[in-house]
Amino acid sequence: MNEWIIPFSMLGIADVGKVGGKNASLGEMFQTLLPLGIRIPDGFAITAEAYRFFLQENNLVEEIASSLEKLDRKGFTNLRQVSAELKTMILEASMPKGLADVIIESYRELSGQSDRDLEVAVRSSATAEDLPGASFAGQHESFLNIKGDEELLKKVISCFASLYNARAIKYRFDKGFDQLEIALSVGVQRMVRADLGSSGVIFTIEPETGFQNAILITGCWGLGENIVQGAVIPDEFMVFKPALEKRNRAILSKKAGSKSKTMVNAKSGGVVNLDTTPELQRQLVLADDEIEVLGRWALAIESHYQMPMDIEWAKDGNDGQLYIVQARPETIHADKDPYLVTEYSLTESSELLTSGYAIGNGITSGQIKVLESADESDLLKEGEILLTEITNPDWDPVMKKAAAIITTKGGRTSHAAIVAREVGALAIVGAENALEKLQTGDWVTIDNASGKIGKVYSGQLHWTEMQHNFRGMSLPKTKPMFILADPEKAFGLSFFPNQGVGLMRMEFVITKTIRIHPMALVHFDQLENQEDRTQIEELCQGYSDKKEYFIDKLSQSVATIAAAFYPKEVILRMSDFKSNEYAHLIGGSQFEEQEENPMLGFRGASRYTHERYQEGFTLECEAVKRVRESMGLTNLKLMIPFCRTPQEGKKVLELMRSLGLIQGDNGLEIYVMAEIPSNVIQAMEFAEIFDGFSIGSNDLTQLTLGVDRDSEVLGELFDENNPSVKWMISEVIRVAKAKGKKIGLCGQAPSDRPEFAKFLIAQGIDSISFNADALLQGIQNMVEAERE
């Protein structure tokens, strides 16, 4: 080691001033995490002192200061000219012989005196880089698959010059860094042959909401620059930290991206981007055990640094091993208070034009401006919506002008996504058909407030905004809980004041994610409709057993909601489709009979033990077992809907027991919906069978009053405040309390009507569940009712 070269094995996080954040972090991991079994490719750092020596030997210090003095620091009108001038003077300078000798000597040592040139990655590492609050994402250059003495020295000088990239100069001004105080170190690291394997990015925090218990892993085939640059839509894997810690099954979700390009090493050095074969586009880049290994490594790295981290991983196609090649602090949520929330809600609707991954929470409207490259950035006016194929760091200065950014490529860990979060801009990435659907001048509204998927609507729509501060907010003694269906909203909603989920609707997942009738998967070979068979084959790609498709997709969605609210109770209602709704699923028409009155027909508990659906219910139970037993999410409880008689309830529980879902095992509780008058009249008998009740006020009201809840003609008669309905509710609460059973209610009335909330609380109800948009008003009504 000398003042110019320090091997990773002798670096630590305290050396940021010597080797920059990136190299200091690599050295820190190499020393402390390698012994834990986390593989880090070896390498060395060319220090900031070496960079300063390079400038002095070439008499560049005063020239750089003089050039920077010319910079227009208000409008930055000459930023590119000043940048070009600075970079040219560095690139035309020569590497001092003494410095060149020690770099080549260290490169030879890293090669192990091999008779061939070692392939290395050459990466810039500025002395202010990768600090909490300033990511410097993509501001400086990196070079992959570099080999040979001469090429290495050239790339080191190119890294030095990249300190004065236009985007980097502007970024430092925006962040308040002294231009002349920042120096540049260069990391030289053994190349992992990810060009023959795969690579990607890990966030140890859910990047959109700041949810702490999830790890997001993205991946593509070949070198990870395609993900960082946003050139591909990658695979996404979400992993649950508490499950990793307990060595349980930890994968919450898996989503295949298109991965249209694969970046590989070129024979002559450098890299080339190739089209990915259709087979590899469909195939996930990581197996389940690899996802969990990366998850455990990410957890260890986060634990070591004591902060959320942004990590790059690679899988070597030669040795089949996983490696960590970079780690830096996650900069977006470091200073954010997750309990300060702004709620956005569209009040109008129009044609949905395109969609992609939502970056940032909010709604905005503006005119589209299509640009092909950052060279056209002067054409973008303040408040326009930038639409382009892909962004790179050259776009950074213009991103602040845009009302929002839409890219047709990229994922949630791409450059566009990271910078959009950092500057507080809304973005939609991976909107693959946006350039076909939109053109310059189109007025659109972007909705990034409805979950993980951002939507672009035609025209200027109106919306509402409401700010909340949940920190220290007083909650009622009666539990306020969510009615929830969409897993994509779960992480964000977990920060709202709540005591868990009183009703998770399984039907939403089956309709939106699975889309196939479960019996069509069980009896696929008997399907008569060829179009249904084709659609099912397409959806089930990657699953050798079509039943596993249903179990896997359902368990992922249920686990996501259970994990979001863990360890609070999440009550999953088993499927409650009516026969006409089941018939609309792919392959469903063959397994459903037409009924005159599906509302009162073959639904709920009756289906579960019937030969026409029992095999489908078995799949539902297998998914639940995976969530509770394999993943350890025992906060998941179950609920049986539309159970007409106690005998029917007993049959369902016996079937569930035979399938391995046994009341009391690992705290499993099974509730029954109180939504039929018989549930109230025979409440004592139902209480002997089930662990509690959930009052379904909509069905109970319509069946008590004999009013179709969907009837426009009889709408005025549908009223939860009717004395008959209130007697039903009061009576089932009385019985539940007498039998020591839990009881809650799911419905809109307690938020719409303060007097109804007061009535429920006076009866001693344990919990009230609300739709997300009604939760806060509901809590206010509950608090006031308890106060009275």
Which residues are marked as active site? 415, 746
3-state DSSP helix/strand/coil % of the chain, to nearest 5: 40, 20, 35
- CA-closest candidate to residue 305, choices 8, 46, 18, 24: 24
Q: How many CB atoms lie within 10 A of CB 24?
A: 27
3-state secondary structure 64-125: HHHHHHCCCCCCCCCHHHHHHHHHHHHHCCCCCHHHHHHHHHHHHHHHCCCCCCCCEEEEEE
**Cα 599 to chain center, whole Å?**
37
The C-alpha angle 176, 177, 183, rounded to 5 degrees, equals 170
What is the rounded distance in angstroms from the CA atom of residue 747 to the CA atom of residue 770? 6
> Quick one: CA torsion of 701, 707, 712, 714, rounded to 10 degrees?
-110
Amino acid at 441: G
- The β-bridge relationship of strands 385-388 and 404-407 is parallel
- The set of long-range contacts for 369-376, using a CB threshold of 8 Å and a minimum separation of 24, is 369/440, 370/435, 370/438, 370/439, 370/440, 374/398
Full DSSP string of 605-662:
HHHHTSTTTHHHHHHHHHHHHIIIIIS--TTEEEEE-S--SHHHHHHHHHHHHHTT--
Strands 463-469 and 340-346: antiparallel
C-alpha–C-alpha distance, residues 213 and 207, integer Å: 11
Q: Record the tokens describing residue 612, joined without a space.
A: 């026409």
295 with 215: CB under 8 angstroms?
yes
Q: Which helix (H) or strand (E) holds 762?
A: helix 754-763
Looking up tokens 């020591």 gives 740
SS (H, E, C) 86-101: HHHHHHCCCCCHHHHH
Could you tell me if 702 and 718 are in contact, meaning their C-beta atoms sit under 8 angstroms apart?
Answer: yes
Calculate the alpha carbon distances from 117 to 100, 152, 507 in Å: 16, 10, 59
166, 322, 393, 572 from 374: Cα distances, Å: 12, 35, 9, 49
Which DSSP helix (H) or strand (E) runs through 24? helix 16-32
- Which pair of tokens denotes residue 568? 């609070």
Position 623: which residue type?
A
Cα separation, 139 vs 121, whole angstroms: 17
Angle at 421 between CA 345 and CA 331, to 5 degrees: 135
Fill in the amino acid letter for 351: E
Contact 481, 768 (CB under 8 A): yes
What's 783's DSSP letter? H
